[in-house]
Structure 1
Amino acid sequence: MIERSEPVGILLQAVSAVMQDRNRGEIVAVRNVDLEVEPGELLTLLGPSGCGKTTTLRMIAGFQEPSGGRILIAGRDVTHVPANQRDIGFVFQNYALFPHLTIYGNVAYGLEARRWPSADISRAVDEVLELVGLAGFGERLPNELSGGQQQRVALARAIVIRPRVLLFDEPLSNLDAKLRISMRGEIRELQQRLKITTVYVTHDQEEAMAISDRIAVMEGGRIAQLGTAQALYRRPASAFVAGFIGRANLLRATVRGVADGVATLDVQGETLTMPADGVPAAGSAVRVVVRPESIALARSNTAAAVVQSCSWLGDKIEYEVTFAGQTLNVVCFAPTEHETMSPGTAVSVAIPPAAIRLVAAED
């Protein structure tokens, strides 16, 4: 069996990455990032292209030195330690398999570089190939395997060296949608079984929510918010996070008043109420965050809201509704035929107070 060492933590202290571009001058890719990855945790760096997530991963791996700050693994300062001395396994986006080597040769490569005895290498490779569901594939070449199978080879090569840290750079982006769902489950199951501290990079919010213990949402080289998928979804700290984790309606509003534990909001002439905790003073401009599935619609001859579009998707209906001069996205799950409201239908909009979150207007 693959030996499990005690899980280790990763600590980033004020880590930055500044690069020089001939045309654009100085580019700050990562800005003073502080981050602690707990031992045995799977933490995902999530964000759009250019947010700094891959650069951060490369600095943890040792492929790029920080311009400032420190990186510690298991309490050891590895900021200037070469990648091959950091005890990490890395799974690349394009798999990076050697096309001229068999699957056995690809997986064995790291062990051969470490000068393991041949018998131990053979035993370890057979074991890890069985672990990733590729027993009996050792003599095949990479081009004889499907994309999902090649991904499993890349994963086997990363874990066969028994790393203390496992790093993934968008590992599923080259797979089709159905296979991505299957592979992310396999990665999560294997990580939990081996208890390897893991940092995972993706731009796919659903992928991040499905596999992560915690997610660090990155924006502009900084961590915009760190937390569990549930916390980020239910309590986003900014309009950016609300829009990046799941779907969200962001409505312009003004705080009308707070009394008896209830806050009243003016949304372009329409009134919403919510719990008063954390609501700023009357007159403050805010953004209202409401998830599409929290909104209820009902036909109404007198309502000011109007259905603009309707998409029937089998298990749900997605609506676009004009409300208070703004567009609301609404999702109705398990719809019945008589519930469907066609474009042009006048509707009332009901938003439960507990479903409303506020973020700063300038976001």
Structure 2
Amino acid sequence: MIERSEPAGICLEGVSATMQDRNRGAIVAVRNVDLDVKPGELLTLLGPSGCGKTTTLRMIAGFQEPSGGKILIAGRDVTHVPANQRDIGFVFQNYALFPHLTIFGNVAYGLQVRNKSASELQRAVTEALELVGLAGFGERLPNELSGGQQQRVALARAIVIRPRVLLFDEPLSNLDAKLRVSMRGEIRHLQRTLKITTVYVTHDQEEAMAISDRIAVMEAGRIVQLDTAEALYRRPGSAFVAGFIGRANLLRATVESVRDGRMMIDIGGQKLVMRSEGAPAPGNPVSVIVRPESIAIVASSSGPTGVVRTRTYLGDKIEYEVTFGGQMLNIVRFNPADDEEFLPGDTVSLRIPETNVRLV
């Protein structure tokens, strides 16, 4: 088994990155980021393109120096330390394999640079390939492997040097959907087995939720919320986080009354009850979020009603768009075999538990 290094914590203190563009001048890619990655945890930087997540990862790796702030790995200030002296493994989006080397040669490269003996090379590379499910592939060339197998080679090459920190830059984006699901499970299993402190970058929220101990959601160069996947989904701190972690209906409403820890809101004449959560006084406008799967759609009766606009059958679920108080609700119903037939134009009643309506 590959020898485990003691997991190292990562700390970013006020880290910023400014790029110079010939036409636009100075562009701030990362803005005063503070971040603590616990030893042995897998933390994901999640956000849309251009939010600063890859730039942050590259600064942790040492590929790019920050324009401000400090980076520490295992308590050591590495802000200006070269990448090859930071004790990290890096898995690139495009695999970055040497096409002229065998799989054994690709995985062994980092050990050769470190002047390891032939016996050490043989043992460590063989174990790394076994760990990623590529035992017996050592003599093949990269072009003889599938995309998923090449990504496993890149992973083996990163872990064979026994790094204290493992970094991933959108490693699954070049794979098809089914293979992505399989590979993310393998990465998570390997990370837990080796207990390597890991920072993982992706724009895929489902991928982030599936593999992470914690997720740092980034927007415009800042971390806007950092928490577990469940906490981010259930208690998003902003409309941006609510919309990026899963799907959410964002509704404009007016506070009608507040009493005994509960609040009545009005949405275009439709009434909903929710927990007050320190809500403003009656008459004030508010925004609330409701997850599509938390809404029950039933035949028209008492209570809030809407009109079905579209119905989309997707096998394991049916998705509806429903006009509700002059706004549009997305609703998901699972187990469609048990689904009532609600068609466009039907008036339906909606059941929304008060605990599933949250103030933004």
So what's the TM-score if we normalise by structure 1? 0.97
Report matched runs for 1:1-363 at 5 Å: 1-300=1-300, 304-336=305-337, 339-359=340-360
Q: Which moved more, 1:56-65 or 1:116-125?
A: 116-125
Q: In structure 2, what is the Cα distance between the partners aligned to 1:185 and 1:149?
A: 14
Q: In structure 2, what is the Cα distance between the partners aligned to 1:284 and 1:328?
A: 22
Provide, for residues 192-241 of structure 1, a one-character-per-residue CA deviation record: whole Å limited to 9, x for no partner. Answer: 00000000000000000000000000000000100000000000000000
Q: Which amino acid in the other structure matches residue 52 of structure 1?
A: G
Q: Which moved more, 1:5-14 or 1:267-276?
A: 267-276
Superposed displacement of residue 5, structure 1: 1.8
Superposed displacement of residue 25, structure 1: 1.2
Question: Over aligned residues, Cα RMSD in angstroms?
Answer: 1.2
Q: Which amino acid in the other structure matches residue 225 of structure 2?
A: Q
For these two proteins, the number of residue pairs brought into alignment is 359
User: What are structure 2's unaligned runs of at least 5 residues?
Assistant: none
Q: In structure 2, what is the Cα distance between the partners aligned to 1:192 and 1:161?
A: 17
Q: In structure 2, what is the Cα distance between the partners aligned to 1:9 and 1:168?
A: 16
Superposed displacement of residue 44, structure 1: 0.2
Q: In structure 1, what is the Cα distance between the partners aligned to 2:339 and 2:134?
A: 50
Q: In structure 1, what is the Cα distance between the partners aligned to 2:226 and 2:194?
A: 24
**SS of residue in 2 equivalent to 1:2:** coil
Percent of aligned pairs sharing the same letter = 77
Q: In structure 1, what is the Cα distance between the partners aligned to 2:64 and 2:261?
A: 51
Superposed displacement of residue 337, structure 1: 5.5
Q: Which amino acid in the other structure matches residue 43 of structure 1?
A: L
**SS of residue in 2 equivalent to 1:339:** coil
Q: In structure 2, what is the Cα distance between the partners aligned to 1:182 and 1:234?
A: 26
CA contact (8 A) 1:321 1:328 kept: yes
Q: In structure 1, what is the Cα distance between the partners aligned to 2:35 and 2:132?
A: 30
Q: Which amino acid in the other structure matches residue 184 of structure 2?
A: R
Q: Which moved more, 1:179-188 or 1:2-11?
A: 2-11
Q: In structure 1, what is the Cα distance between the partners aligned to 2:177 and 2:32?
A: 35
Q: In structure 2, what is the Cα distance between the partners aligned to 1:277 and 1:304?
A: 25
CA contact (8 A) 1:215 1:228 kept: yes
So what's the TM-score if we normalise by structure 2? 0.98
Q: In structure 2, what is the Cα distance between the partners aligned to 1:282 and 1:213?
A: 40
**SS of residue in 1 equivalent to 2:298:** strand
Q: Which moved more, 1:262-271 or 1:7-16?
A: 262-271
CA contact (8 A) 1:301 1:346 kept: no
Superposed displacement of residue 280, structure 1: 2.7
Q: Which amino acid in the other structure matches residue 61 of structure 1?
A: A
Superposed displacement of residue 338, structure 1: 5.5
